Structure 1
Amino acid sequence: MPRRTATLLTSALLLITMFCVGALLNVPYAEMSPGPTVNTLGGHGGDPVLNVKDQPGQADKPKKYRNSGHLNMTTVRVTGSEYRMTLFGALSGWLRHDSLVVPYETLYPDDKSAKEVDRENAEEFSASQESAKAAALKELHLPVSTHVLVGSVEKGAPAHNRLHAGDVITAVDGTPVGKAESVGKLVTQHKPGEKVTFTVIPAGKAKAAQKQGKKPSAKDARKVTVGTEKARDDGRAVVGIQPAVGHTFPFEIDIKLADIGGPSAGLMFALGIVDKLTPTNLTGGKFVAGTGTIDDDGKVGEIGGIQMKTVGARKKGAQYFLTPAGNCATAAQDKPDGLTLVKTSSIDDALSSLKKIRSGKTDELTQCRAH
Structure 2
Amino acid sequence: MPRRTATMLASTLVLFALLCAGVFIKVPYSEMSPGPTVNTLGDSHGAPVLSIAGRKTYPTSGHLNMTTVRVTGADYDMSLVEAVYGWLAGDNIVVPHENLYPNGKTEAESTQENAEEFSQSQQSAKVAALKQLGIPVTARVIVSTVVKGSPAEGRLHAGDVIKSVDGAAVNAPEDVAKLVTLHKPGEPVEFTIVPAKEATEAAKAGAAAPATSKVTINAGKAEGDGHAIVGIRAGTDHTFPFTIDIKLADVGGPSAGLMFALGIVDKLTPEDLTGGKFVAGTGTIDDTGKVGPIGGIQMKTIGARKAGAEYFLTPAENCASAASHVPDGLTLVKVSTIDDATKALEKISKGDKAGLPSCTG
TM-score band, normalised by shorter chain:
over 0.9
Give the match's secondary structure for 1:315.
helix
Give unpaired runs (5+ residues) of structure 2.
none
CA contact (8 A) 1:212 1:252 kept: no
Structure 2: distance between partners of 1:220 and 1:253: 28
Partners in 2 of 1:211 and 1:169 — Cα distance?
Answer: 18
Quote the Cα distance in structure 2 between the aligned partners of 1:232 and 1:115.
27
Q: How many Å apart are 1:210 and its aligned residue? A: 3.9
Q: Which shows bigger deviation, 5-14 or 91-100?
A: 5-14
Question: Which residue, out of 156, 164, 168, partners 1:175?
Answer: 168
Q: Which residue of 1 aligns with 2:46?
A: 46
- Correspondences of 1:41-80 after superposition (within 5 Å): 41-54=41-54, 62-80=55-73
CA drift at 1:141: 1.0
After superposition, residues 99-138 of structure 1 pair within 5 angstroms as 99-110=92-103, 112-138=105-131
Rounded to whole Å, the distance in 2 between the matches of 1:209 and 1:46 is 33
Amino acid at match of 1:355: E
**Aligned residue runs from structure 1 range 153-232, under 5 A:** 153-211=146-204, 217=209, 219-232=210-223
- Local SS of the residue matching 2:51: strand
Query: Residue type of the partner of 1:81?
Result: A
Change (3 A) 1:232 1:259: farther
Q: What do residues 255-301 of structure 1 show as CA deviations (whole Å, max 9, x unaligned)? A: 11233222111111111111111111101111111011112222211
Match runs of 1:304-323 below 5 Å: 304-323=295-314
Letter in 2 for 1:13: L
- Kindly, what percent of the aligned residue pairs are identical? 63
Kindly tell me: are residues 230 and 121 of structure 1, through their superposed partners in 2, closer, same or farther at Cα, counting changes over 3 Å? farther
Q: For 1:56-107, what per-residue CA distance to the aligned partner results, in whole angstroms no more than 9, with x for missing partners? A: xxxxxx2211211111111111111111111111111111122111111111
**Which segment is superposed worse, 169-178 or 183-192?**
183-192
Q: Give RMSD over aligned pairs.
A: 2.1
SS at 1:142 equivalent: coil
User: Which digits, 9 at most, give the CA deviation of each residue in 1:19-60, with x for residues without a partner?
Assistant: 122111111111111122111111223332112222xxxxxx
Counterpart residue number, 1:88: 81
Quote the Cα distance in structure 1 between the aligned partners of 2:46 and 2:188: 48
Answer with 255-264 or 115-124: which moved more.
115-124
Structure 1 stretches of at least 4 aligned residues deviating more than 6 Å after TM superposition: none
Are 1:360 and 2:360 matched, yes or no? no
Match of 2:248 in 1: 257
Mapping of residues 284-363 of structure 1, within 5 Å: 284-363=275-354
Q: 1:211 to 1:251 in 2, by over 3 A?
A: farther
Number of corresponding residues: 361
User: Hey, what's the Cα distance between the residues in 1 that align with 2:273 and 2:7?
Assistant: 69
Alignment deviations for residues 157-208 of structure 1 (CA, whole Å, 9 cap, x no partner) = 3433433332222122332211111212222334445543332223333334
Once the two structures are TM-superposed, the CA of residue 13 in structure 1 deviates from its matched residue by 2.3
Aligned to 2:260: 269
Alignment correspondent of 2:141: 148
Partner of 1:110, secondary structure, is: helix
Q: How far apart in 2 are the matches of 1:257 and 1:163?
A: 32
Distance 1:186-1:323 versus aligned 2 partners, 3 A rule = same
Q: Provide the C-alpha distance between the structure 1 equivalents of 2:322 and 2:4, rounded to a whole number of angstroms.
A: 51
Residue 12 of structure 1 pairs with residue 12 of structure 2 = yes
Q: 1:35 to 1:202 in 2, by over 3 A?
A: farther
CA distance in 2, matches of 1:338, 1:186: 54
Structure 1 pair 234–100 and aligned structure 2 pair: CA distance change class (3 A): farther
Call closer, same or farther: CA 1:263–1:323 in 2, change over 3 Å. same
Asked whether the 8 Å contact 1:213–1:252 carries over to 2, the reply is no
Q: TM-score, normalised by structure 1?
A: 0.90
Structure 1 residue aligned with 2:227: 236
